[in-house]
Every structure is written in C-alpha cells, then in structure tokens.
C-alpha cells in the first residue's frame, strides 16, 4: 500500500485525469476521509485530519488482509483472534490515551450520561465503563468471526465441488455444476463481506 501511494503521488499528486491506480488511491482516501469527518465530532477539520493516517492504516490493513484471504492457498491473517484482538486493543488503548490528553479528567464524564439521577449514577458509571472496555473485545471478535466463518464456508464448499469434479463420472460432473455455482456466488459474497467488514471495523 505504501509503495502504491508513493508511485501514484511522486509526481506532485498524480494527474488531472487519473489512471486506474490513482483512482484506487483516491477511492481509499475518500473512503477513509468520510468516516473521519462523520464519526469524530466536536473538533475542527484540521484537528480531525490528524487522526486520518491512523484510521487509514487501520482500514487498509483490514481491507488488504481480508482480501488476501481470498487468494487460493494464502493465509487469512484477520481470521485469527489474536491478530484482530491485538488490533482492536491497541486502538482502544490509543483512544483512551488521546481522550485523556484532549479532555483531561473531563474524559471520565463520558461514562455518566447527562440528566441521570444521583442514586443511579454509580450503577450507570459502572455499566458504561464495562461497556467501554468490552467494545475493544467485541470489535476484535466481530472481524475475526466474520472472516473465519466466510472463508471456512468457501473452502469447505470448494473442496466438496473439487471432489465431485474429480470423480471421473459424467453424472457427478453434471451434478457438480450446482455446488460450483454456489461456490462462485459465495466467493462474490465473501469479497463483499471482506470490504464491508474492513469498513465496519474502522468505523467501530
């Protein structure tokens, strides 16, 4: 990704009529910039842009690791829980540090919703704190589960279709067209899921 960005932008930002590679870079840039502007509230545009490289790294890592798993005999990095958990916890720790840097102890007011009666405050603070901490865990589990389930189903059905093709029997070959079309449809669906999950995990 870094090499792609370098070669596209080395001549001062590309050309006015973009080629395929420049269009891909611009698409990724816009794809990341929109969530930055929509999801980060209460900050000026210049301050928001400081978070753009970190969010861009998260998105491109998730996207290209998800898509890499669609290549036959490749290794799907994001289908392993430790990888996605490490990614989500590192972002969670970073967000907490930045929250205290920007807001100081006022960051703790995030855990107490406005207009809450005083007797309910300790219970709600504890509930919000647990919810905040488990958000890192749930983000890692969501990406891992979607990638593992989708890729596993494609691999199982692909193996089933290949076994039927290798039966050397005309009846099996004709009957194999059904599983083969299902595998093709699932592959297309899994490509969409890989892109969608990268976007969802970045927003979360």
How many whole angstroms separate alpha carbon 178 and alpha carbon 201? 34
Q: What is the pLDDT of residue 130?
A: 85
Residue 39 clears pLDDT 80, i.e. is over it: no
90 to each of 126, 137, 178, how far by Cα in Å?
Answer: 22, 11, 44
pLDDT tens readout for residues 98-149: 888 887 877 777 777 777 777 777 888 888 888 888 888 888 888 888 888 8
Runs of H (alpha helix) within the chain: 2-9, 20-39, 45-49, 52-68, 81-103, 121-165, 170-175, 177-203
Q: Which residue has the tokens 């289908």?
A: 79
CB atoms within 10 A of CB 69: 20
pLDDT number for residue 113 = 72
177 vs 78, more confident: 78
Mean pLDDT, the chain, whole residue set: 79
Please tell me the distance from the alpha carbon of residue 41 to that of residue 58, in angstroms, as a whole number. 19
Reported pTM: 0.73
pLDDT of amino acid 143: 87
């Amino acid at each position: 990704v870094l090499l792609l960005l370098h070669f596209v932008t080395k001549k001062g930002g590309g050309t006015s009529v973009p080629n395929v590679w420049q269009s891909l870079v611009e698409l990724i840039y816009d794809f990341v910039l929109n969530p930055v502007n929509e999801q980060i509230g209460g900050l000026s545009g210049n301050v928001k842009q400081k978070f753009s490289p970190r969010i861009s790294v998260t998105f491109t890592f998730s996207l290209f690791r998800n898509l890499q798993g669609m290549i036959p005999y490749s290794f799907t990095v994001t289908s392993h829980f430790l990888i996605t958990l490490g990614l989500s916890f590192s972002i969670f720790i970073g967000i907490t540090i930045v929250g205290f840097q920007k807001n100081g102890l006022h960051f703790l007011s995030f855990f107490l919703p406005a207009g809450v009666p005083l007797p309910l405050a300790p219970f709600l603070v504890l509930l919000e704190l647990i919810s905040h901490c488990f958000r890192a865990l749930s983000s890692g589990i969501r990406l891992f589960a979607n990638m593992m389930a989708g890729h596993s189903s494609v691999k199982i059905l692909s193996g089933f279709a290949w076994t039927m093709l290798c039966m050397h029997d005309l009846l099996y070959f004709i009957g194999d067209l059904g599983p083969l079309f299902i595998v093709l449809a699932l592959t297309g669906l899994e490509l969409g899921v890989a892109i969608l999950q990268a976007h969802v995990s970045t927003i979360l």
